[in-house]
Amino acid sequence: MVVRRSATFALEVDLSIEPGSTVALLGPNGAGKSTAVSAVSGLLAIDEGKIELARSVLDDPAADVFVPPEERRIGVVFQDYLLFPHLTVLENVAFGLRSRKVANDRARDAAASWLERLGLTGLESLRPGDLSGGQAQRVALARALVTEPDLLLLDEPLAALDVTTRVESRRVLSDHLSGFDGPRLLITHDPTEAFLLADEIQVVEDGIVTQVGSADDIRLRPKTKYAADLAGSNLVAGSTTDGLVETGGHQIHIADHGVSGPVLLTIHPNAISVHRNRPEGSPRNSWATTVDRLESLGDRVRLRTGAPLPLTVEVTSEATDALGLGIGSEVWVAVKATEIGVEPGG
């Protein structure tokens, strides 16, 4: 579809989503993500192309077909949730059903059961203003899901949350996404969200899709600087006690001794140094490994190391030449504990 927002900006996107899978539109602000949300939900008409859902056409300018938003069976979770402030939580969740002429008590029962599914029992008679960020996000999700839509559209669902709530909410979201049978479209600027929740990622910049692929594709073979930057971080899941993280048979030292339990570590490719021999100095983490893959990006080179812990490493071309690195080269890598980002959860 193509949507022209102004004389200078147009969004051009081509995607199709299989039932039961999640596609993420990942891009910086201004890339056209909200335009995509408005177009798919029907709040904006497209200029060219076609939108189809469940074998019926929603928007086709060439054939002069446009289905208004209230007739599209799409469940939307909006960025600011947009919970109706003058209605209770239960009434908010029941809203979609009642608008579709479902009887009041049946609507309320369905709403109550969804609230229970999302762990929100007891909050039915509260107003949205009384809810915490995480609770509001789940109410918004319940409200979208209760109408059993054909498509689930999530517009930056975790953006409004603080970091700790976000981790928990991401887990809740992941569970309910996999429980939803239809196709799901996720719009986000957060690469972690996209990598963890989506099966396919389309990177959008300035209204155009610059790359399509799985999380690994984007991470390992970014095609643009933006993708390289956000793809950068290596994500490692593990469990930590007292500054030591166990991950799949390998141990990593982190700076934070206060955290314990499951964690997600982020290590930026630039934070990893490559050596021909065992390095001396302060880095707590160093191990021997081999170069599995190597890709040149002009002045920079991206390496993928192998066992015991595969990592994406970025070094200069000069360094690569100087060290004589190639596929299969045996190297030592070192990571400073202070360079490792730690997030509880995983």
Of 19, 20, 30, 68, the one binding other proteins (CB under 8 A) is: 68
Q: Which residues ranging from 100 to 129 are in contact with other proteins (CB under 8 A)?
A: 100
Position 41 contacts other proteins (CB under 8 A): yes
Position 147 contacts other proteins (CB under 8 A): yes
- The torsion angles phi and psi of 307, rounded to 5 degrees, stand at -60, 155
> At closest approach, how far in Å is the CB of 118 from other proteins?
17
CA-to-CA dists, residue 164 to 133, 156, 247, 280, angstroms: 11, 16, 22, 36
- Piece of the chain touching other proteins by CB under 8 A; list 91-99, 110-118, 186-194, 288-296: 91-99
Of 76, 89, 204, 334, the one binding other proteins (CB under 8 A) is: 76
Of 3, 74, 230, 315, the one binding other proteins (CB under 8 A) is: 74
Position 64 contacts other proteins (CB under 8 A): no
Neighbours of 68 (CB within 10 A): 10
- Piece of the chain touching other proteins by CB under 8 A; list 62-70, 129-137, 295-303, 314-322: 62-70
- Piece of the chain touching other proteins by CB under 8 A; list 117-125, 142-150, 179-187, 212-220: 142-150
Which of 95/195 has CB closer to other proteins? 95
Which of 74/325 has CB closer to other proteins? 74
Position 67 contacts other proteins (CB under 8 A): no
Q: Which among 164, 302, 290, 289 has a CA at the least distance from the CA of 233? A: 302
What is the residue whose two structure tokens read 């003058």?
86
Which of 85/281 has CB closer to other proteins? 85
Write down how long the chain is. Answer: 346
Position 180 contacts other proteins (CB under 8 A): no
Of 86, 281, 299, 324, the one binding other proteins (CB under 8 A) is: 86
Return d(Cα 247, Cα 288) in angstroms, integer: 16
3-state secondary structure of 129: helix
3-state secondary structure of 267: strand
Position 71 contacts other proteins (CB under 8 A): yes
Return d(Cα 314, Cα 38) in angstroms, integer: 38
Q: Which among 171, 186, 188 has a CA at the least distance from the CA of 76? A: 186
Long-range contacts of 280-284 (CB under 8 A, 24+ apart): 281/334, 282/336, 283/334, 283/335, 283/336, 283/337, 284/253, 284/336, 284/337
Of 70, 105, 280, 299, the one binding other proteins (CB under 8 A) is: 70
Residues that bind other proteins (CB under 8 A): 41-43, 68-72, 74-76, 78, 80, 82, 84-86, 95-96, 99-100, 143-144, 147
